Structure 1
Amino acid sequence: MKLLEGKTVLVTGGSTGIGRAAAIGAARHGADVAINYASSDNKARSCVAEIEALGQRAIAVKGDVADPATSGEFIARGVEAFGRVDVLVSNAGICPFHAFLDMPVETVDRTFRVNLHGAYYMVQAAARQMVEQGEGGVIVAVSSISALVGGEFQTHYTPTKAGVHSLMQSAAIALGKHGIRCNSVLPGTILTEINKDDLADDAKRAYMESRTPLGRLGQPEDLVGPIVFLASDMAEYVTGAALLVDGGMFVNLQ
């Protein structure tokens, strides 16, 4: 069953990690896909190639989500290529680990501008297009388990992910009358480029695995099912919700 047959899906941060997995997963479920990416040209091209190999159309649009102009351009390019926007997956994010007391101002500002401001502008631009189309739509934002728990070296990151979670709750209220559903997924520890250096320490990785009831850390592909479900008509009465995808880590920490 292809849950996104005939849909157009836009994914930010789509060249690597969770965004790439979501983009290819959406294509497997019948969607045409536009990805936004910041710097990885080769990875963006290979993602587009994988989608096209599945028989779906794809484009890659380069741009920094921290720049408000990027959101409008990305949505416009998606409409130009595919005629409409049915689903936005707001995924782009960074997490440069750093101690709290000497956290550089530039690191704090950049993290907020990418993770929270970037999500806000992308969600707003996509919503405007969906309202103009007049047929509803879906927005899925990638928050984090970090929206619910703290992190010693993530004092700049956890507030942004809590903000993304809150943004989806408020947007669900603001956009419900337009038939637009807004939900978030909250990944646990997923093996991506964001944390590959942090988890290069075998002892730390083993410790993180030991805190997860399912006994392993997540892979980007573990987010595909939850994102596709929330984007599909199977979730047509789900909005303002947050879905933990963490192997049980959050409940274990309680």
Structure 2
Amino acid sequence: MRLLEGKTVLVTGGSTGIGRAAAIGAAQHGANVAINYASSDDKAASCIAEIEALGQKGLAVKGDVALPETASDFVAQAVDAFGRVDVMVSNAGICPFHAFLDMPAETFERTQRVNMHGAYYMCQAAARQMVAQGDGGAIVAVSSISALVGGEYQTHYTPTKAGVHSLMQSAAIALGRHGIRCNSVLPGTILTEINKDDLADADKRRYMESRTPLGRLGQPEDLIGPIVFLASDMAAYVTGAALLVDGGMFVNLQ
């Protein structure tokens, strides 16, 4: 079953990690896909090649999500290429691990601008286009288990992920009258570019695996099903919700 047949899906941070998996997964389900990316030209090109190999149309648009004009440009280019926007997957994010007491202001502020401001601008731009189209749509934001728990070296990051989760709750109220659904996914520890250095420590990796009832850390592809579901008509009565995708880590407090 191709759950996104004929739809146009936009994905931020789409050249690597969860964003790349979501973009290719959307194409597997019949969508044309536009990705935003920050710097990895080769990886963005290879993502589009995989989308096109699946028989779908792809578009890569480079830009810094921290800037509001990047969002309006991304949506405009997607509409020029594909005619409309049906789904926005707001995924772009950074997490430069750092201690709290000597956190550089720029590290804190850059994390806020990319993760929180970027999500706001992208979701707002997509929603404006969906409202103009007049037939609804879906927004899926990639939050994190970090919206619910703290992290010693993530004091700049966890508030942004709580903010993204909260943004989807409020946007669900603001946009429900337009038939636009807004939900978030909360990944646990997923093996991506963000945490590859942190998890290079074999002891820490084994510890994180031991905390996960399913016995392994996540892969970006583990997010495809949850994201596609929330983007699809199968979730037609789901809005303002948050779906943990963490192998059970959050509930394993004992």
Structure-2-length-normalised TM-score? 1.00
What CA distance in whole angstroms lies between the structure 2 residues aligned with 1:6 and 1:206? 42
In the other structure, the counterpart of 1:144 is: 144
User: CA offset at residue 253 of structure 1?
Assistant: 2.8
What CA distance in whole angstroms lies between the structure 2 residues aligned with 1:175 and 1:68? 20
What CA distance in whole angstroms lies between the structure 1 residues aligned with 2:103 and 2:207? 26
Per the alignment, in what secondary structure is the counterpart of residue 46 of structure 1? helix
1:215 equivalenced with 2:215 (yes/no):
yes
1:250 equivalenced with 2:245 (yes/no):
no
The 5 Å alignment of 1:94-109 reads 94-109=94-109
What CA distance in whole angstroms lies between the structure 1 residues aligned with 2:67 and 2:206? 38
State the identity as a percent: 86
User: CA offset at residue 244 of structure 1?
Assistant: 0.1
The 5 Å alignment of 1:157-168 reads 157-168=157-168
Please list every run of 5 or more consecutive structure 1 residues that lacks an aligned counterpart in the other structure: none
In the other structure, the counterpart of 2:110 is: 110
The one-letter code sitting in structure 1 at the alignment partner of 2:181 is R
What CA distance in whole angstroms lies between the structure 1 residues aligned with 2:200 and 2:74? 34
What CA distance in whole angstroms lies between the structure 2 residues aligned with 1:135 and 1:148? 33
What CA distance in whole angstroms lies between the structure 2 residues aligned with 1:21 and 1:2? 16
Q: Could you list the per-position Cα deviations for residues 163-192 of structure 1 after superposition, in whole angstroms to 9, with x for gaps in the alignment?
A: 000000000000000000000000000000
What CA distance in whole angstroms lies between the structure 1 residues aligned with 2:169 and 2:24? 27
1:155 equivalenced with 2:167 (yes/no):
no
Aligned residues: 254
1:35 equivalenced with 2:15 (yes/no):
no
User: CA offset at residue 23 of structure 1?
Assistant: 0.1
The one-letter code sitting in structure 2 at the alignment partner of 1:178 is H
1:64 equivalenced with 2:73 (yes/no):
no
Per the alignment, in what secondary structure is the counterpart of residue 156 of structure 1? coil
1:194 equivalenced with 2:194 (yes/no):
yes
The one-letter code sitting in structure 2 at the alignment partner of 1:140 is V
What CA distance in whole angstroms lies between the structure 2 residues aligned with 1:108 and 1:238? 33
In the other structure, the counterpart of 1:20 is: 20
What CA distance in whole angstroms lies between the structure 1 residues aligned with 2:182 and 2:212? 28
In the other structure, the counterpart of 2:184 is: 184
Q: Could you list the per-position Cα deviations for residues 214-244 of structure 1 after superposition, in whole angstroms to 9, with x for gaps in the alignment?
A: 0000000000000000000000000000000
| RMSD, matched Cα | 0.5
Per the alignment, in what secondary structure is the counterpart of residue 253 of structure 1? coil
What CA distance in whole angstroms lies between the structure 2 residues aligned with 1:128 and 1:253? 41
What CA distance in whole angstroms lies between the structure 1 residues aligned with 2:89 and 2:99? 30
Q: Could you list the per-position Cα deviations for residues 91-116 of structure 1 after superposition, in whole angstroms to 9, with x for gaps in the alignment?
A: 00000000000000000000000000
Please list every run of 5 or more consecutive structure 2 residues that lacks an aligned counterpart in the other structure: none
In the other structure, the counterpart of 1:90 is: 90
Q: Could you list the per-position Cα deviations for residues 55-88 of structure 1 after superposition, in whole angstroms to 9, with x for gaps in the alignment?
A: 0000000000001110000000000000000000
What CA distance in whole angstroms lies between the structure 1 residues aligned with 2:68 and 2:79? 18
User: CA offset at residue 49 of structure 1?
Assistant: 0.2
1:231 equivalenced with 2:246 (yes/no):
no
What CA distance in whole angstroms lies between the structure 1 residues aligned with 2:85 and 2:204? 41
Structure-1-length-normalised TM-score? 1.00
Per the alignment, in what secondary structure is the counterpart of residue 9 of structure 1? strand
The one-letter code sitting in structure 1 at the alignment partner of 2:29 is H
The one-letter code sitting in structure 1 at the alignment partner of 2:140 is V
